[in-house]
Chains A and B, each alone.
Chain A
Amino acid sequence: MTTTTADDTAAGATAVDPSSRRSIGRWVSAYGPVFGIALMALVLLVWAPGALSDFRLGNLGRYCALALASMGIGLAWGRGGMLVMGQGVFFGLGAYAMAMHMKLEAAGPDGVPDFMILYGDGTMPGWWEPFRSGPFTLFAIVALPAFVSFVLGYAILKRRVKGAYFAILTQAMAVAFATLLIATIKQTGGFNGLNTFSTVFGHNLYDPEVKKNLYMISAGLVIFFLVVLWALYRSRYGELLVATRDAEERVRFLGYDPANVKLFAFVVAAIMASIGGAIFVPIAGIVSPTNVDASASIMLLAGVALGGRASLFGPAIGAIAVGYGRSTLSERFPNQWTYFLGALFILVVLFLPGGVASLWPKLRSLFPSSNDQPAAAAPAVDTAGAEAS
């Protein structure tokens, strides 16, 4: 201990007391994200509603809904090391639950959704019935993905399926789910999906005030889950999850079952995707198999990879950026925009594997500030050697 103090005073003789400097650094890394979240809240909840047109605000609301799913991917993939390529399934569970409720609202009490009369014999399957209830729908939006992801995750993770096999399995899930939806046109609207809604929980969807509030809920959920993830990442569980990602066997030999550690992240990610899907539907006015299939799932993943999967803000900002880029580019280059997105994706994966969020620490290491102590590492090694003897 005494040697360390000597080292530090030698290294930082001109500067402030090193221990206080280090604790400032720790304080910033612990509470810096809070300021980041506050800034995001300011932009999304205060600036955007005033500055953007209703149309643009609606778009941003949709991106926020997608961002919720992407933030879940950030948790499962970035922190948990599980490459979830089928989050569209859970996004779809929430989206379809909400859409079914709104469809029943549009049909009126005891009414039957229009497409069932069009494609079927006008009778409604029994499992639609509970979704007439608003509270049940809200419950299902959380409980359904939680249950499905728990069962699937338990089966997959307890068998120690990882890496590419895990990714392929989850991807196959998305393909199967979309195929099932398309095949059941009489029950789920098939390829057309569910659309032509009129109200959500009794509020007129065409009322600008309601539209704005839907946006506020979507953006508010992003902020809320940023806080949830921030708390989760700095908790002991957050550390354990990273440890499991980096050395799963080692975690097993510390007395944990890694499957349980990963399962929790997988379930939380599924619930976040489902909530994103549920708020997506009233804003977009439609949900169809193209919103939940394999390519939709990969699009969610692209935002996460671009933004930086392991960072707190990367997935959310990446998802919003991809959504924005997608609509701007597709307006100008309707045929080529996917190539732009693909090229950007390749560039980021090649040169910035940690995503755009990793730019900040990279820039910081280029310009060493007074907060960094590059010299301290070497002498400290000797210190420890002396201590142990």
Chain B
Amino acid sequence: MTISFLEEDYLEVTGLTVDFSGFKAVDGVDLTFLQGSLHFLIGPNGAGKTTLVDALTGLVQGTGTAMFRNKDLLTMKSHQIVRHGVGRTFQTASVFEELSVLQNLDIAAGLHRRTRSSLLPRGKVPERVAEALETIGLAPLAHRPAGVLAHGQKQWLEVGMLLVQDAKVMFLDETVAGMSTEERDNTGELLKRIVADRTIVIIEHDMDFMRRYADHVTVMHTGKVLAQGTVAEVQADPRVQEVYLGTAQEAEHHG
């Protein structure tokens, strides 16, 4: 246990600020994302959750530091951040619709290949890709164009692409939005299976999903961290109830 603790990765964010010409979408956020836990990032619309992830993945410019494996993500370009082991999905699933499921995953594996080898056709299915196909349960659909997949399957394909990339930090932006209850459960179980050796950060609006699967919750509000802790701790926090979870039913449950 001690050894695995020493080997644990973490992403440490300090003083992260994203300034959109005067408006601070993210305002001095300090956060630590630990390996092996499903870390949920919640908060009302406009709280700065997606902007925070955008800053950590090079999509918008942020100040402060975000150290992961001795490198500051805030100084790197998007594709370099990915190559450093940090991956993300987007609110709307953006798989390559014309390409097959297999091709989608194979492209995600490209960062582990030499550039020159990309001028050759794929021989047999790479092991990493075959594993991911099984993990996300899309193996029977490997040769279907990704465009014909159901909404939930597209999101799983996105997770699969992160697996193939071998992303050690995964940012998932509203992955279960629009999914059926069954699909949500499948997604939750999928994430629990793969989280052991990685850090998974989930932006979510679905509170039921959050309660069932969150190991750790960070609540954001107006660009700042409002509260942190386990689901129970966060739910018990009166400030959180006020801005976000504060419904009469919640109060009854806990009171």
Contacts and interface: CB of A to CB of B under 8 A. Distances in A.
Interface of A: 1, 3-4, 22, 26, 231-232, 234-237, 239-240, 242-243, 246-247, 249-257, 377, 380-381, 383-389
A3 B57 CA distance: 39
B1 interface: no
Contacts of A385: 137, 152, 182-183, 186
Contacts of B156: 384, 388
B138 A384 contact: yes
Given A242-B98, A252-B79, A388-B190, A236 B87 contact: no
Contacts of A242: 96, 98-99
A211 B79 CA distance: 51
Given A243-B107, A385-B152, A387-B137, 19 more contacts: A232-B119, A235-B119, A236-B118, A236-B122, A242-B99, A243-B96, A243-B103, A243-B104, A246-B97, A252-B79, A253-B57, A253-B88, A254-B161, A255-B79, A255-B82, A383-B140, A385-B137, A385-B183, A389-B185
24 contacts: A1-B140, A232-B119, A234-B121, A235-B120, A237-B118, A237-B119, A240-B110, A240-B118, A246-B96, A246-B97, A252-B82, A253-B88, A254-B82, A254-B107, A254-B110, A255-B83, A255-B111, A377-B148, A381-B150, A384-B156, A387-B139, A388-B187, A389-B137, A389-B185
Return the 4 tightest CB-CB contacts between A and B, nearest first.
A387-B137, A388-B137, A255-B111, A255-B82
A231 B121 CA distance: 8
Contacts of A247: 94-96
Interface in B140-158: 140-141, 143-144, 148, 150, 152-153, 156
B165 A250 contact: no
Given A232-B119, A250-B96, A389 B107 contact: no
B73 interface: no
Given A254-B82, A388-B190, A249 B94 contact: yes
A242 B111 CA distance: 17
Interface residues of B, number: 51
Contact of A387 (B57, B79, B108, B140): B140
A256 B115 CA distance: 10
A272 to B, nearest CB: 16
Interface string B39-70: 00000000000000000010000000000000
A105 B119 CA distance: 39
A235 to B, nearest CB: 5
Q: Is the interface of A mostly helix, strand, loop or mixed?
A: helix
Interface of B: 57, 77-79, 82-83, 87-88, 90, 94-99, 103-104, 106-108, 110-111, 113, 117-122, 136-141, 143-144, 148, 150, 152-153, 156, 161, 165, 182-183, 185-187, 189-190
A247 B119 CA distance: 20
Given A236-B118, A243-B107, A254-B82, A388 B136 contact: yes
Contacts of B104: 243
Nearest to A377: B148
A254 B110 CA distance: 8
B117 A236 contact: yes
B106 A254 contact: no
Contacts of A1: 139-140
A231 B122 CA distance: 11
A256 B79 contact: yes
B99 A239 contact: yes
Contacts of B111: 254-256
Contacts of A3: 140
A389 B190 CA distance: 8
B144 A377 contact: yes
Contacts of B107: 236, 239-240, 243, 251, 254
